[in-house]
Amino acid sequence: MIAVVTAFATVGVGCGRTGHAAGMRSHGREIFAQSCAACHTLAGRESGAVGGDLVNVHLGVADLASFAKVMPVRPALSEPDALAVAKYIASVDRSLRGRGR
């Protein structure tokens, strides 16, 4: 048991906040593709999606996560998954703003 805990602790030493954030965005991108993309887009402009473009709503991460929790997806998103997808949406929004959309 101690060896397993030590192994996990050693693996995590090199993982800083940047690695965690990138992993969270990647996880959020996967969730968005599986659970959200059928109704929503992230283009920064309306594209006729049934649920609209989520970049256009300009919500903060906490509001996006709250929004994700009440969406009619099955299975419903867990708190960590809702937060991951919210952080992904926010990162797309920041990226598009940086390009002067």
Q: What is the pLDDT of residues 31-69, one digit of tens each?
A: 999 999 999 999 999 889 999 999 998 899 999 999 999
Q: Is the pTM of this model over 0.85?
A: no
Max Cα separation, the chain?
Answer: 54
Enter the DSSP assignment of 49: -
Q: Does domain 19-98 have CATH number 3.90.79.10?
A: no
The pLDDT assigned to 15 comes to 42
Query: Exposure string (b/e) for 78-99, b if CB count within 10 Å is 16 or more?
Result: eeebbbbbbbbbbbbbeebeee
Tens-place pLDDT, residues 32-41: 999 999 999 9
- The pLDDT-based confidence of 97 (bands split at 50, 70, 90) is confident
Q: Which two tokens stand for residue 17?
A: 């906040």
